[in-house]
Structure 1
Amino acid sequence: MKIEFKEEQKFTQWWLWLILLPIGLLPTIGIYKQIILGEPFGDKPMPDIGLIIFTIFIFSLLGLFKVMKLKTNIDNDKIEMSFFPFVKKTTKWTDMKKAEVINYGFVGGWGIRLRTKYGTVYNIKGNKGLAIELLNGKKYLIGTQKETEMYEIVKKACG
């Protein structure tokens, strides 16, 4: 019996981008006003180089949110998870003590959450995921938007 599951998630929540994009507007206005027009930006303007560095930092942060993605691939032998550009894990079924699809609630936000009761949580949105406990006692959780499909795959794999 062949088991195969694939999922790719990105930060596509409209409300998140409604918050993030205006953050990029502030340094853009500052660059325009202070460097192009030559007028100080704010009551206590930072030096031009500071404004440029701050702008680069903000746009790098926005770019990071754009490229981050959580990919999950499951087959007969293993679970592969990648939270690009930070983490890549491969776990064989034989190295697992337990794997179950759960509703983990809210773990303090999205992204990578350390030291939760589920171990490290990798999620992009929602509150459903595959909780994995390894034979060595370590735990981690992979968020999913395909809860039912993932549940069926895990049920087949754990038999």
Structure 2
Amino acid sequence: MREVQRPPWYANALILIVAAVMWYGFIQQIIFGIPFGAKPASDTGMWGLFLLFGICFPLFFLSLKLVTKTEKEGLVIRFFPFCSRVIPYQQIKSVQVQPYHPMSYGG
């Protein structure tokens, strides 16, 4: 059995809004040559901000997920892209069904 949980849609929407603003600012300043904002960054600074908040930041947050699998050796929990953990079945003392609300927990 396998379950995948991702951040809630509203967290992804916020990240995509930040990325869209960076893309807009980058295109306006670098492509069209129109300074972006009241105190525009230098072109080098805009490139750095674009790479960080327009590309890396969204790719990182949109790749986050929690994968839970049952394997022979035990329960495997992986928080991608960070860590993985195996909990042997012998260490699990009890199991219960727990209802939850996906809109409040994002899972």
1:62 deviation in Å? 0.9
CA 1:77 to 1:125, structure 2 compared with 1: closer, same or farther past 3 Å?
farther
Coordinate RMSD, CA, aligned: 2.8
Which residue, 44, 51, 54 being the options, matches 2:46?
Answer: 51
Partner residue, 1:87: 83
SS of residue in 2 equivalent to 1:83: strand
Gaps of 5+ in 1: 106-123, 128-142, 146-159
In the aligned structure 1, how far is the partner of 2:6 from the partner of 2:70? 18
2:84 counterpart letter in structure 1:
K
1:1-159 equivalence runs, <5 A: 5-11=1-7, 13=9, 15-58=10-53, 59-75=55-71, 77-97=73-93, 100-102=96-98, 126-127=104-105
In the aligned structure 2, how far is the partner of 1:9 from the partner of 1:29? 31
Partner residue, 1:114: none
Answer yes or no: is the 8 Å Cα contact 1:82–1:88 preserved in 2.
yes
What are the superposed Cα offsets for residues 77-134 of structure 1, whole Å, 9 maximum, x if unpaired? 41101111011101102234555554689xxxxxxxxxxxxxxxxxx9754xxxxxxx
2:87 counterpart letter in structure 1:
T
1:67 deviation in Å? 1.7
Answer yes or no: is the 8 Å Cα contact 2:67–2:77 preserved in 1.
yes
Q: Tell which has more relative contact order, 1 or 2 (C-alpha 8 A, sep 6+).
A: 2
In the aligned structure 1, how far is the partner of 2:33 from the partner of 2:73? 62
Identity %, equivalent residues: 25
Per residue, is there more strand in 1 or in 2? 1
